[in-house]
Structure 1
Amino acid sequence: MGNSEIQVQFFHHVRNLLPPYKSLVDEVSDLLEISNDSAYRRIRGEKFIDLEEIKKISQHFNISLDQVFNLQTNAIVFHGKLNSFTKDSFDDWFEDVLKQIQMFHIQKKKHMYYLVKDLPPFYHLYFPELASFKFFFWMKSILHNESLKNEKFSFNNLLYYKLKDTSTKMINLFNQIPTTEIWNEEGINVTIRQIELYNDMGLIPSQKELKILFEQLLDVVNHLEKMAEFGLKFPMGKEPTAESAPYTMYVNDFVIGDNTIIAELDNVQITYLNHSVMYFIGSMDPKFNEAMFYNLHNLIKKSTMVSTVGEKERIRFFNKLRKKIEIKLAAIEE
């Protein structure tokens, strides 16, 4: 393959990463600070790009040259963010999650697969109190936000309202993305334990607030069951419509998920691996994603589908989830 062919292939790969409403020529000209004509000539392979330009483009689009040029190496390239341990760490993380959901949403072909270890964060957003508790826990115990070092969780200062616009956008977009979730009954335990732990530490001021958190978690479980019954995603307290995105739920009694997210989009597959509790790193490496999808489909084959069909298994599974929460509610002193 000649140099110009490799260059054309490189830009073809870049084009596949762009959402439909963006122009490759405009993106390249802005990034390299050149005219549209110069950008066209580079894209067509008429003018060679230098190493510095390749570096700029690759870094901007998180491109692995291994995957573009099919280099035979064992390297797998991931992109993602780490905790900056600043007062803005959580806001930055939350905005980044929204950007990923927005990127999924604009694709014509899109499907999200979620291997559930912990209740997906989107479902907490239906309740300001439950969402605020999760935000508070992440900021205090995971991100070690200094401003919360000596603070208790309180319904009088809910963090949700500072992020309400972003939260609303996120759950609305998420509900429009076709999704397959693979659950195990352990999937509800993490949130239960976090609530329980903070109560034991005296960080939840009253039994009334503790009860509300568990009641809201129970409402989320009931809503998930309703979505599984219809096989569609829709907002809490609403009914599905003709525009509702497909929702498929599987239960696997033997494998506990690890919060891996696998996305199948227009021209690319992406695997997001969970790290540091709430962060993700993503890879578009074709060989890696081929292996991940192979494992995913094997796991699905060994799981029980409980959405739209399997009513008996669905009722039994959700009764197990409800029982875990109802035991905690029964233990609360009025």
Structure 2
Amino acid sequence: MKKKLFHYIKNKIPDNNSFIDVVSDVLGLSYDASYRRINGKTTLSFEEGFKLIKHFNIPLNDIYNAQDSNKININKKVNREDTPGLHEYFNEVSSIMNQFRRLKNSKYTYASKDFPIYHSLETNLLRKFKIYIYSHFLSKNKTGVQKTKFEKFVTPKVLDDVAQKVTDVFKRIKSDEIWNENIINTTLFQIKHLLELNLISPKSALSICDDLTKNIQIIEKRAINGHIEETKVDFNLYYNKMINLNNSILITSDSDNKFIIPYTPLSFFSIDDKNTTREIESYYEKQLLYSKKISGNAGMERELFFSILYGKINLMKKQIRIKESTEELLL
């Protein structure tokens, strides 16, 4: 078991890191003490083994050769549904993606039911809007929600900073994103809902729509180029209306895989089991074969797809202007 544990860890760390140094740092031991444990000259204690398993997030199935292939370990990450919980959630996402960014041939595949949060955080006003939604309407503590209007909301700097970390790390990993034309529906509904509650002015709502358009234009440019301009990392965009898009994300690399699926806005399950993630990877590969690639040379399909998104935003802006003119008449 010990040999398998150290072999697993060795495959998880980047090639430019010293294996012994990494183990030494995790266990808080000297270089020589770690070397003796790795080579079997000193017994690795149960506590030390557990510490390594926990630090490197190693599935116990992989270490103990569990025979029942129908049972796997699923990790559950629960965050508080408030502003500190949102900060923790962003930090967790950033940390996971940074771990994979350092591995060879890392890539993520995202089945986007909603506009991906890491894209939403890219432009200032849409970022403020999304953080406002998370901080107020997804919180268990409803006290005072009706008193805080969007215009008076100030994004905490710590959230702004960690949100930027999230967008930055996603730009540094190759990606396959699967979208359909419903991807911005939730965002548009949120704008409409806040208007109905009088928690946002028509003027601000129109500005958010403009910022959403700006955000979509950034994605369209990446789709045209087939890469992210700032980092030159591959960006592949696909259209598929047939499969169930559920905001799940599969992250793969030469040495490690992870599948993440949300079950509340700030909490998610993650699976590291190799066989399961390979099955999911195979499933996504098949779905991509039956999807329309709308990045790169697919000019006509891409233009049609993005025109639908822009059309939805323009329709929402017309509805907002009608509400704005009605309110002016009432005055």
Q: How many residues align?
A: 321
Matches within 5 A, 1:14-53: 14-20=9-15, 22-53=17-48
Matches within 5 A, 1:287-298: 287-298=275-286
CA apart distance, 1:29: 3.1
Q: What is the SS of the residue equivalent to 2:33?
A: helix
Aligned to 2:75: 79
2-structure distance, mates of 1:201, 1:150: 8
- Which of 152-161 and 225-234 deviates more? 152-161
Aligned to 1:110: 106
Q: Is the 8 A contact 1:186 1:256 kept in 2?
A: no
Aligned to 1:238: none
Aligned to 2:179: 183
Q: What is the SS of the residue equivalent to 2:320?
A: coil
Aligned to 2:226: 231
Aligned to 1:216: 211
Q: What is the SS of the residue equivalent to 1:275?
A: strand
Aligned AA (1:37): D
2-structure distance, mates of 1:208, 1:143: 26
Q: Tell whether 2:151 aligns with 1:163.
A: no
Cα deviation digits, residues 114-172 of structure 1 (max 9, x gap):
11011111112232221111111112222335675344342344316443332333323
2-structure distance, mates of 1:43, 1:257: 44
Q: Tell whether 2:250 aligns with 1:262.
A: yes
Q: Is the 8 A contact 1:114 1:259 kept in 2?
A: yes
Aligned to 2:320: 332
Report the TM-score, using the length of structure 1 for normalisation.
Answer: 0.88
CA apart distance, 1:112: 1.1
1-structure distance, mates of 2:96, 2:144: 28
- Which of 224-233 and 28-37 deviates more? 28-37
Aligned to 1:91: 87
Aligned to 1:303: 291
1-structure distance, mates of 2:156, 2:226: 29
Q: What is the SS of the residue equivalent to 1:108?
A: coil
Aligned AA (1:105): R
Aligned to 1:275: 263
Q: Tell whether 2:63 aligns with 1:68.
A: yes
Q: Is the 8 A contact 2:132 2:150 kept in 1?
A: no
2-structure distance, mates of 1:32, 1:106: 22
Q: CA RMSD in A?
A: 2.2
Aligned to 1:321: 309
CA apart distance, 1:20: 4.4
Q: Which runs of 5 or more residues in structure 2 are unaligned?
A: 325-331
- Which of 290-299 and 46-55 deviates more? 46-55
Aligned AA (1:53): E
Q: Is the 8 A contact 2:104 2:255 kept in 1?
A: no
Q: Is the 8 A contact 1:115 1:261 kept in 2?
A: yes
Q: Is the 8 A contact 1:132 1:160 kept in 2?
A: no
Cα deviation digits, residues 217-258 of structure 1 (max 9, x gap):
1122222222111111136xxxxxxx5111101100212411
Q: Is the 8 A contact 2:103 2:254 kept in 1?
A: yes
Report the TM-score, using the length of structure 2 for normalisation.
Answer: 0.89
CA apart distance, 1:176: 2.1
Q: Tell whether 2:213 aligns with 1:247.
A: no
